[in-house]
Every structure is written in C-alpha cells, then in structure tokens.
C-alpha cells in the first residue's frame, strides 16, 4: 500500500489482491505448521509457524502501517504482547507502569516482580513532576503508559513522558488498546513500542483473542520477534486471518462507537443518580484538551460512578437488557463491567482505591446498537437502581 492514501484506506485494503497463485481478492489463510526447505541448507522464508507465518505477517504488516512503525509482532493475546515487553528487563531493572492500569497488567508485573525477575513501580503518570522524580530515583528501563487508562480513562501527556523517558534512558511503551490506531498513534509522540490487545477494537467482534507489539525501529522489532519466538507466544494463523478481516472495518466501526459513546456520556452526566462520568470527550474531563491534541477522537469507552452503593450497582446491572455483563471491550455489542469485582479483581484494595477503581465504578464498552436504545436501557437501569433497597435482584 502506498503512503499516499489515508490509513482508513490502508486498513480496508490490507493484503487485498496479495495472492499471486490464484489471484484471490482476499488473501488465503496459511494453516500449515511447517514449510519445506528448497534443499539441503536452503531454507525458505518460512520454516515453522511459531517462527513465521504468511497470514500472521499480513496482519503484522497492516498493524505496522496503521501505527507508523517499523515492524509488528503478533502474539496470542494482549498479555502475550506485554510478556514480550518484559523480556527487555533483567533482574534489578525497573519498569514503571500506570497506577490505574488494567488489572491483568498489574497482576503480571506484580507477580513477576515478586519472583525477582524485575522491579515495578506504579505511578500516576498524569502528574509529570511525580513521574520525573520517581524516574530520577529508580532509573527505569521501561516506562509503560496507558492513555486513556483502564478503566478511569485518564489521559497522559505522551510527548511529556517521552521527554522524561529520554532523560533517564528508558524505553517508552504505550498501551493503545482503548483507542486503536484509528484514533491515536503513540509513535508520532515518541513511543518506542506500542501494545495492543487486538481482541478489542482491532478485531472488533468478540470472537478472537490476540495481541500485538509494534516497534518504532527495525532493531526493536527484531528483538521483539526473537523473544516472541523463543517463549512461544506468537499468534495463530486462523486468529490472525480473523483479526485482519476485522481491521478492514476498523475506522467506520470506531466512528460509530464514538458517536454512541459521546451521547451516552452526555446523558449520564445529566442524571442525578450518577456521581461522576469519566469520558475524555466531555468538556469538564481533566484530560479533555490534552486528548484533543494527541487523539483523533475520544473512543467508545465510558466509565461512571453510580450513587447508592452496592445495592444500586447490583440493581443497575440486573436490569440492563442491551449491555451484556462481561469482561473485555471493543466488540460491536455493548458490554458493561464492574471493574472492582471483574477486570481489577487481582488488584489490592489499597491500589484500587488509589487508582479510583471504586466499588461503585461501572465501565461501559459502548457498541454499535442504535444510540437511542442504549440510552433508554441505561436510564431504565438507573431508575431501577434508584429504588434498589426495595428490589430483589440477582446477585452478580
């Protein structure tokens, strides 16, 4: 794909007409686990699918182009991509992660640090002075940022963190899962590595688990590819084929996700039974102006805090019809999650409180259903929550 077309066009045309054998419009799927050598001592481009696969490489090429990187490694999950990131660390090295990061990220770093594989510091990265002071003290090898963060949607200054990373000689990695390359390209702001759970918006249909790490330089891409092969967490060909199919509709899906989410956030902010709404598209969000500068949109995720305590949370969730109570996000269907008991269950109560993951926080992945139906469903849930003490609800 030439660089003269938009990234939306690149996404739609990813690997289209690449089949030289039969001229198939959609690229074939290569399920073979191994490939023949041309002869003794004459390996071909591919020999074993853990090491390399044409279908997986097609997805990697698409992600590389969309993120503006030098190479991408497709992994079996988003956590697999984070595991590749940790291979840059040795015992005694430190990684700095967001204090309000995804619960799975917290668990991975916390457990591996307890085994002595590396050290971890969880820092509020929206406070650049705090981050700079911590970096001066611990001299991290890696700074990992989530922006927007999961689940409170805080916005971090990517260019500012890049400057701090350069000062201390750290690699700068950004988890871009919440926005996808359609709405944000961290490499443009100096990121060395970009992490994705491709399970989410990139695939977009809640039927594939996958991940990716995109490198800004060929050298970093080669190191990531080496470690992904060594530890055996590269993605499967079928999953790659499905994710590549999902990429082709990424941009129109994201536009509709965002349009629906913006309406949902506005309506929620007007309800007396809602204590606070976290959505960067709202003018009163602390990171609104920064998000406008470094993002091309505000995304499809909305979090909010409900009045009334646990009883209200239970009643609200029990009375929704169009938001499925489930983990994950980014699919065409709307999902609702209670982070404290679901995605962030592995996180200590102390850290959850510091991160703003309160017992009354609710996270929405706003889907592609008709916006008016989603709003009506949420208002019905809130109405039920308002009378929660008198309701007999199903426990979550």
- DSSP assigned state of 308: T
Residues 6+ apart with CB under 8 A from 28: 19, 21, 22, 55
Cα 167 from chain centroid?
27
Which residues on neighbouring strands pair with residue 212, listed in sequence order? 74, 196
Let me know: does 171 contact 165? Beta carbons within 8 Å. yes
Write the CB contacts of 191 (distance below 8 Å, at least 6 apart in sequence). 158, 162, 172, 173, 174, 216
Which of the 8 DSSP states describes residue 285?
S
Residues annotated as catalytic are: 50, 102, 175, 200
3-class secondary-structure state, position 122: strand
According to the 3-state scheme, what is the secondary structure of 225-246? HHHHHHHCCECCHHHHHHHHHH
Q: For residue 15, what are the contacts with CB-CB under 8 A and spacing of at least 6?
A: 27, 58, 61, 62, 244
Total residue count of the chain as it appears in this document: 396
Q: List Cα–Cα distances, 88 to 221, 269, 372, in angstroms.
A: 12, 43, 47
Q: Which of 186, 213, 183 is nearest to 198 (CA)?
A: 213
The candidate with the shortest Cα–Cα distance to 66, out of 146, 147, 180, 171, is 180
Residue 123 token pair? 């820092």
Distance, in Å, from the CA atom of 117 to the CA atom of 58, rounded to the nearest integer, reads 33
């Amino acid at each position: 794909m030439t660089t003269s077309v938009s990234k939306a066009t690149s996404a739609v045309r990813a690997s289209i007409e690449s089949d030289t054998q039969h001229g198939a419009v959609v690229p074939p799927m290569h399920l073979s686990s191994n490939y023949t050598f041309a002869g003794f001592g004459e390996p071909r481009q591919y020999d074993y699918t853990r090491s390399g696969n044409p279908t997986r490489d097609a997805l990697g090429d698409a992600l590389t182009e969309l993120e503006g990187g030098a190479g991408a490694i497709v992994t079996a999950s988003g956590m697999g991509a984070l595991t590749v990131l940790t291979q840059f660390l040795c015992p005694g090295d430190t990684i700095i992660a967001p204090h309000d990061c995804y619960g799975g990220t917290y668990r991975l770093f916390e457990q591996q640090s307890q085994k002595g594989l590396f050290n971890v510091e969880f820092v509020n990265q929206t406070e650049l002075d705090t981050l700079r002071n911590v970096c001066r003290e611990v001299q991290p090898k890696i700074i990992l940022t989530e922006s927007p963060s999961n689940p409170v949607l805080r916005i971090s200054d990517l260019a500012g963190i890049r400057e701090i990373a350069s000062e201390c000689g750290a690699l700068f990695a950004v988890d871009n899962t919440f926005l996808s390359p359609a709405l944000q390209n961290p490499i443009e702001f100096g990121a060395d590595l970009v992490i994705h759970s491709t399970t989410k918006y990139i695939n977009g249909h809640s039927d594939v688990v996958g991940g990716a790490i995109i490198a800004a330089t060929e050298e970093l891409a080669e190191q990531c590819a080496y470690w992904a092969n060594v530890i055996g967490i590269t993605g499967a060909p079928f999953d790659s084929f499905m994710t590549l199919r999902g990429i082709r509709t990424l941009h129109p899906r994201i536009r509709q996700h965002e349009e629906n989410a913006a309406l949902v956030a506005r309506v929620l902010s007007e309800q007396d039974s809602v204590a606070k709404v976290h959505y960067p598209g709202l003018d009163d969000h602390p990171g609104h102006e920064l998000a406008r500068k470094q993002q091309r949109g505000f995304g499809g995720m909305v979090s909010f805090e409900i009045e009334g305590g646990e009883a209200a949370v239970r009643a609200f969730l029990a009375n929704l019809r169009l938001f499925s109570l489930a983990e994950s996000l980014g699919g065409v269907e709307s999902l609702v999650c209670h982070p404290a008991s679901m995605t962030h269950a592995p996180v200590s109560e102390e850290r959850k409180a510091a991160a703003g993951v309160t017992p009354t926080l609710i996270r929405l992945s706003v889907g592609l259903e008709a916006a008016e139906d989603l709003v009506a469903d949420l208002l019905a849930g809130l109405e039920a929550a308002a009378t929660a003490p008198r309701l007999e609800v199903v426990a979550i």
